[in-house]
Structure 1
């Protein structure tokens, strides 16, 4: 299927500001690596049904994403609307127009610890054997992709989204999608080197082991270590307050 099952992440939107909300939601799915370069969007009529709006509303939303350079509409053979192949580069260009600051990274890290830390704790308490097996597969995929920034970003996002799914909370999963979207925006221009991505605290073994061990408190603590390590990776690339240097 063209949609790879991602359309279950879509729900109807309110009529007021619906076009903007739809564009924002689709952009978030792209940023969270649920939709990646080359993926085909459903026809506008189908999107309108999924979001519970008129086709014209969807058409406006698609136009916004097209203007941002995140999607393209092809004619002729293989006609349809697709996520552009170099979407991470385009996200990096858009992010550069409004660079992140030290305060942004600190706020994102606090958000991650609150949301993803709780998701990790709940996953440790609730995950099934099948869910844990899938987590191990995703962890291995992320570890194998450390040398390729784009592949690693996709695998890393997929792992954290799966942990959020294991929490059993739809709200935590939706919040995690927003978090991964923000991380993609931050990392698109400055993904870090292979060495940085290979550091123990950047890898996921300790976090996965805590979840596998059914230890919610340890899972939450290990996620905090992981989130803070990611923040340290990002800090050299964000705007610092005038006269201030990052210290860690």
Structure 2
């Protein structure tokens, strides 16, 4: 089984609507780029234990993802259930069926500012030098990967998830996973491509610098600028 730190991303679900809840959570892990193309799921029994549900519930949940074309089951050598290799392409196709509206983007931006802005402020208060070193490495990696849309999306999501982790709040981290899932769907058909990703407000240097300086207000401000700049890329293209 591939080591993706499954346990830290999964908690038991309630029995009512359990299959839908499991499917939604697995879908979110894919959208948040915690799981990427080619990653293998744990066996059904292991997943059922993580979620605190019956194996049949997991089976129903994965059937939903399989029907959506997000995962596939392989037989023979290295048999198992995997995220499909071109999962971003499939997400793009699914998103095209229900495209984002202006209201969707405005609400997502408000959600980001509330959750990720607070996570950035808390990270500025709490981050240790060791964790700041990790943050700097992630920021540098996002710059290096800017020309590769898939790698850039994965690293961008990872950086914001890491900031949420540095906030010390499990609820903020879980909310950030939902945000990154939505962003992957929104960014699946990025209107500006590489040049937009290279714009200063789409980069993270100013945000990381504010966190390094231990300035919560500045970190919140820099994140707000970052989130609003992302929205500005899309609003001219939607109804």
TM-score by length of 2: 0.98
Aligned mates of 1:5, 1:22 — CA distance in 2: 17
Aligned mates of 2:63, 2:194 — CA distance in 1: 37
Asked if 2 retains the 8 angstrom alpha-carbon contact of 1:3 and 1:39, the reply is no
Corresponding residue for residue 104 of structure 1: 104
Asked if 2 retains the 8 angstrom alpha-carbon contact of 1:89 and 1:189, the reply is no
Q: Are residues 1:152 and 2:143 paired?
A: no
Corresponding residue for residue 163 of structure 2: 163
Corresponding residue for residue 86 of structure 2: 86
Q: Kindly provide the CA deviation profile for residues 88-116 of structure 1, in whole angstroms up to 9, marking residues without a partner as x.
A: 01001111111100010000000000000
Contiguous gaps of at least 5 residues in structure 1 = 241-248
Contiguous gaps of at least 5 residues in structure 2 = none
Deviation at 1:128, TM superposition (A): 1.0
Asked if 2 retains the 8 angstrom alpha-carbon contact of 1:3 and 1:42, the reply is no
Q: Kindly provide the CA deviation profile for residues 134-161 of structure 1, in whole angstroms up to 9, marking residues without a partner as x.
A: 1001101111111111110000000000
TM-score by length of 1: 0.95
The aligned length equals: 239
Alignment of 1:1-248 (within 5 A): 2-190=2-190, 192-238=192-238, 240=239
Aligned mates of 1:44, 1:59 — CA distance in 2: 7
Aligned mates of 2:65, 2:149 — CA distance in 1: 24
Asked if 2 retains the 8 angstrom alpha-carbon contact of 1:71 and 1:83, the reply is yes
Runs of 4+ in 1 over 6 A off after TM superposition: none
Secondary structure of 2:200's counterpart equals coil
Secondary structure of 1:189's counterpart equals coil
Kindly report the root-mean-square deviation, in angstroms, between the aligned alpha carbons of the 2 structures: 0.9
Aligned mates of 1:10, 1:55 — CA distance in 2: 15
Aligned mates of 1:72, 1:193 — CA distance in 2: 29
CA, structure 1 residues 171+38, in 2 after alignment: closer, same or farther (shift >3 Å)? Answer: same
Aligned mates of 1:235, 1:140 — CA distance in 2: 28
